[in-house]
A and B are shown apart, each in its own frame.
Chain A
Amino acid sequence: MSGAASHPKAGAQPMRVANGNAVDTSRTLHFTFDGRRLSGHPGDTLASALLAHGIHLAGRSFKYHRPRGILSAGPEEPNALVELRDGARREPNTRATVAELFDGLVARSQNRWPSLAFDALGMNGLLSSVLGAGFYYKTFMWPASFWEKVYEPAIRRAAGLGRAADEADPDHYEKATTFCDVLVVGSGPAGLAAALAAGRAGARVILCEEDSLPGGRLRAEHMTLDGAPAADWVAKACQALAAMPEVTVMTRACVFGTYDGGTYGVLERVADHKPVPAEGEARQRLWRIVARRCVVATGAIERPVVFPNNDRPGVMLAGAVRTYVNRFGVAPGRRAVVYTCNDDGLRTARDLARVGVKVAAIVDSRPEGTGAGAQVARDCGAPFFAGASLADVYGSKGVKSVLVRDHAGQAHNIACDLVAMSGGWSPNIALTTHQGARPDYREDICAFVPSALPPGMVVVGAAAGVFDTAEALGQGAQAGQAAAALCGFETALPDLPRAEPASYGIQALFHALKGVAAAKKGKAFVDFQNDVTARDIGLAAHEGFVSVEHLKRYTTLGMATDQGKTSNVNALALLAEVSERSIAQTGTTLIRPPTQPVAIGALAGAHRGPHFKPERLPPTHQWAMAQGAVFTANGLWQRAQWYPRAGEQTWQETVNREVRTVREAVGFCDVTTLGKIDIQGPDAAEFLERVYVNAWKKLPVGRARYGLMLREDGFAYDDGTTARLGENHYVMTTTTANAGGVMAHLEFCHQWLWPEMDVQFISVTDEWAQIAVAGPKSRDVLRQIVDPEYDLSNEAFGYMAARSVTVCGGQEARLFRLSFSGELAYELAVPARYGAALAERLMQMGAPYGIAPYGTEALGVLRIEKGHPAGPELNGQTTAHDLGMGRMLSTRKDFIGRVMAQRPALTDPARPTLVGLQPLCATDTLAAGAHLLPQGALATAAADQGWISSAAWSPTVGSWIALGFLANGATRLGEVVAVHNPLAGTVVNARVVSPVFVDPEGERLHG
């Protein structure tokens, strides 16, 4: 690598001191940070580009607004959260360490006001005594009404987490599912070796790497494989994988969760690294990967060390410093102090020295004579402090010097602008714990490792606590080979490259404080993102929060978007120390998915806006559109609500006209949406007997009957008519809302309760366009439609008749004489493809009779006028008795719900039962949901006697009318009750009447 002096861009990016293995310095990209124009190169992250300019200060902390720098070089970053892009694509809380640089990137720091360097709320640090552990619970308790109006807005402003875009997200997101034999998570040495082994066996392999480039630490470390730079071997391995047809390597793809049955959630950041996604390209894609085996090779996350002012900008993880040097060619400082408890941290001194950074001191917490510190210090020409610690860091917006306390307790002030710290590595085991397994603590490596694993999963490499590269390669290859073999693909192990041996030699170092609770001078941070200090942990423990679960919630430790990736183990160690337990005894909290933040947009995929749910369109939909109908959603169905005509000023006017048309002439309405279930078989009649409350065996062929179904618990479930089309052939109708549920109910009854019954069901809802033709002129119109050989006279085809007919010159159809409106009415069904044509024909043939289509609103008015229960009455809380159908319950047979319907509470005569209500003043509005009270009673729950379920203006009665449920309702006809609508604040007096407002004798429908 070249030194600083030889680098051509040194002037523009003073800290770009070498050629990183992932950066293309031949091209320059421009970006802005807080309005300042800066440059970088393809391959940079926002963090590496900022560091190339010597910029550490990237944000302010969440609670104390302390200046914060870049801590890490990966997704575990707690500090450098920034706002990216502008306008509708503006995105807050993006980690600068994973945001790939592109030309024109606009980035802003967040959580600062008015500027990053000077922040007015920085004084929060002075208030820290009240902002300590549990401050929410202690401070904002009283008065309760202050929470929404005062406290919460103030806290939100102070703890700003960036601004979401105001506009709708303009990008497209996808969801997809794929399957494989072996899923390999992570492309470091262990992951690549696993993928090579499984792939060469012929197994279907998917290798997911969350980074933009494969390689993991092989790119971050100055190391060789087979005597060449490790990155060269990564390239060769990727070429080999690319040549295997059943292997897919996905980069920018984070496996964020382990789910049941070998299912893994994966977020692929398809176009996050581009200014705008390409034409037709998704911004992100959410994968559901179903894998027979999974090899987790997710590496490890380095721990910071807890010491006073360890959050100063310029204090970084040692491994991250090496990543910036080796991968990006960026020196994060000019004078560095390396602070470590293990040999791995010492590599940092060598890497820094190699690119010309002065190593001002190596501070090794291990006693003299352990580890390789002395040798490394000699090689780098650096002062060496064994058995020493960092006691403080100076420089509020960037490190200026550190206070080293040597093994004898002597203090040394050492000038520097970079601190590279290593508390050792924590295996990244999140995916292994998503199903509830608590990890085990290993004293020898001072870290948690996976315990019980989800089915089909193995863990290899650093994620399994194996920190030696050669060992990780070997373990990965064997795991890949074994995983493929378990899927039926045998192979020999691939050739693996030779790796240099490396020592680790860790000795526990979680903090450098004299005592956790005694930490007085200078804040020593445990959780950077949520501003939790060692003192907070001491305080929480002192107040009795000694369970890790309590500690987490009381202090908010590990609850930020980084999920405590860099803080959890240190916190446990501190808690263990103050509560005088071992770390193993203290235990750890569980890690839940997702391991990385996942945008809601990715979870929604293409299902957003009007396409959030699919729509079901009835056969006359296009025709109704052409008529100018207004539509309403009925579940997924789109139904015509009313058909406005020129000159009509309000929807009420239209609906009144449609109702009058049906009462006085003839109207028609598409009722295809009602569920239709074809039931056939020798036991069909017996089956109906068991699912309906009423009798069916005597229903003759060619007739239909109203039926009511109960749930097993005795409450009413659904109703409809069922027609007998043949000896063993019925067609059942259900309500639109319950069509799917009734079908499932019938299947359950047949498959589970009575498998011996010989009966078959299938939905024919979509097969038939079914149109209700209602009104005194309906027979006259149908006479023009139904072929003449069919006699439609009242004698030949009376009320509740049902038969196959032909229409319009031989078209097969089904005709039912059913009435929901109370008028002479029919339902005519034709194969769905002819539904629109039938509507046209009805309009044409019905014109002389004054025909008009009507929508669901008029349908509702007509059935309320007639007292027919519908969804609002069959609401799951009403019984047959409540609905006035108690006498339908057969006593001569068993049926679903019979026994439970006899419970005293369900047969109590005082239960609210179905009544009609009519206001004393016709124009007083009645509203569904209003409560029924005795006149003059206070509007209390104790006085409540019922409610209104459906209400409408009735043009036929010339008054508002309603259906409702009233205690002892059947005995109270004529009584006046108070209708209380607490939403509108109104009380209306209404008379209790029969629920049948129109034609109570039923003469019209028999006419």
Chain B
Amino acid sequence: MADKLHATAPIGAEAISANGLRLALAPLAEAASLGAFAGSGRAELLACVRAEFGVDLPQTPKAVTTADGLVTFLWCGPSQWLALAPAEASGPSGASSGGQGLMARLRASCGAVCALSAQGDSRTALRLSGPGTRAVLSRLVPVDLHPRAFRAGDVALTLAGHIPVIVRHLDDQPEACELLVFRSFAASLFHDLHVAMTGHTS
């Protein structure tokens, strides 16, 4: 049999640094959507995730990350969550685990009580960081990004210009946000963020 297929990054562009800001891909090793089934499924799903991952699924637009830093759960609708395993996440040992096996863990722990769909290639994560991150995002995203309203761990499902995005506030020191976008839109969003950072149209 022939060699394995090689992966291609969703966009060809390199990371960009401008005006103290940095825009880069934050590759996902794996991601999965969780949709709780009806009846007791929702409560059971919460319990299953708590037992396997040690976190409570958020009930409002927020993100929680497991203690080992390997998996983040994002609220993205009533009874719906995204589980993300970033490629660069590292466990307590410092070794990069790459989150491999996320889907297997989810299937084993909560496959009976929720719909699971692989989403690791559906979404692309872009990370914008540096002082002025909020100001740059305000040129694309029509939600309140003020520190009083949008804190680390907060999530917004919204539009960046015309592109649907999930914005996650990572940290204030330094300012950093992650934007999850459908893979097919990644190049356009990268361009639009670049313009918002620099004022250049190309």
A residues sitting closer than 8 Å to B (CB atoms) are 172, 174-179, 204, 279-282, 288, 290, 605-609, 611, 613-619, 622, 637, 672, 678, 680-682, 756-758, 760-769, 784-785, 787-788, 807-811, 830-838, 841, 844-845
Contacts and interface: CB of A to CB of B under 8 A. Distances in A.
B144 A681 contact: no
A178 B144 CA distance: 6
Ranked 4 nearest A-B pairs via Cβ: A760-B35, A280-B199, A680-B115, A614-B188
B162 A614 contact: yes
19 contacts: A280-B199, A281-B199, A288-B142, A606-B192, A608-B201, A613-B162, A614-B163, A619-B183, A758-B37, A762-B119, A765-B182, A766-B184, A767-B121, A785-B2, A809-B1, A833-B9, A833-B10, A833-B121, A834-B5
A767 B119 contact: yes
A880 B182 CA distance: 33
Contacts of A758: 37-39, 41
B139 A204 contact: no
Given A614-B185, A766-B122, A830 B5 contact: yes
A769 B8 CA distance: 12
B122 A177 contact: no
Contacts of A807: 5
Interface string B118-132: 111111000000000
A810 B4 CA distance: 8
A421 to B, nearest CB: 45
A616 B163 CA distance: 10
Given A172-B199, A763-B122, 5 more contacts: A606-B192, A611-B195, A615-B188, A762-B33, A834-B5
B12 A622 contact: yes
A61 to B, nearest CB: 39
A762 B139 contact: no
Contacts of B33: 762
Pick the most buried of A282, A672, A787, A808: most chain B CB atoms within 10 A of its CB. Answer: A808
Given A174-B139, A179-B144, A837 B119 contact: no
A841 B6 CA distance: 10
Nearest to B78: A751
Nearest to A637: B184
A835 B8 contact: yes
A788 B8 contact: no
Contacts of B163: 614
B1 A808 contact: yes
Interface in B10-38: 10, 12, 19, 33, 35-38
B141 interface: yes
Nearest to B161: A607
B115 A678 contact: yes
Contacts of A788: 1
A766 B119 CA distance: 8
B201 to A, nearest CB: 6
A179 B12 contact: no
Given A615-B188, A834-B5, A172 B123 contact: no
Contacts of A617: 184, 187
B19 to A, nearest CB: 8
Contacts of B79: 760
B149 interface: yes
B123 to A, nearest CB: 7
B201 A177 contact: no
From DSSP, what is the main secondary structure of chain B's interface residues? loop
B50 interface: no
B191 interface: yes
B138 interface: yes
Contacts of A785: 2
Nearest to B200: A280
Given A280-B198, A614-B161, A758-B37, A619 B8 contact: yes
B201 A172 contact: yes
A613 to B, nearest CB: 6
A763 B115 CA distance: 12
A611 B7 contact: no
Contacts of A833: 7-10, 121
Contacts of B7: 833-834, 837
Interface in B67-118: 79-80, 114-118
Nearest to A769: B121
Contacts of B177: none
A830 B121 CA distance: 10
Interface string B133-161: 00000110111101011000000000001
A270 to B, nearest CB: 10
Contacts of A681: 37-38, 115
Contacts of B184: 616-618, 637, 672, 765-766
Contact of B122 (A281, A680, A764): A764
Pick the most buried of B12, B33, B115: most chain A CB atoms within 10 A of its CB. Answer: B115
Nearest to B76: A762
Pick the most buried of B41, B79, B195, B200: most chain A CB atoms within 10 A of its CB. Answer: B195
Contacts of B119: 762, 764, 767
Contacts of B55: none
Contacts of A834: 5-8
B117 A678 contact: yes
A715 to B, nearest CB: 28
A808 B122 contact: no
Contacts of B80: 760, 762
Pick the most buried of B4, B114, B121: most chain A CB atoms within 10 A of its CB. Answer: B121
Contact of A831 (B4, B118, B138): B118
Contacts of A605: 139
Contact of A808 (B2, B41, B117, B141): B2
Given A281-B199, A611-B201, A179 B149 contact: yes
A877 B96 CA distance: 56
A991 B198 CA distance: 61
B189 interface: yes
Contact of A290 (B114, B144, B189): B144
A169 B64 CA distance: 46
B162 to A, nearest CB: 5
A682 B8 CA distance: 36
A614 B192 contact: yes
A807 B12 CA distance: 25
Nearest to A672: B184
A376 to B, nearest CB: 51
Given A681-B115, A758-B39, A838-B5, A606 B195 contact: yes
B5 A204 contact: no
Contact of A176 (B2, B139, B201): B139
Nearest to A760: B35
Contact of B162 (A607, A637, A765, A844): A607
B196 interface: yes
B198 A606 contact: no
Given A177-B138, A615-B188, A682 B37 contact: yes
Contacts of A606: 139, 161, 192, 195-196, 201
A837 B200 contact: no
A177 B134 CA distance: 11
Contacts of A176: 138-139
Contacts of A281: 199
B150 to A, nearest CB: 10
Pick the most buried of A204, A681, A766: most chain B CB atoms within 10 A of its CB. Answer: A766
Contacts of B117: 678, 680, 762, 764, 767
Contact of B35 (A172, A680, A836): A680
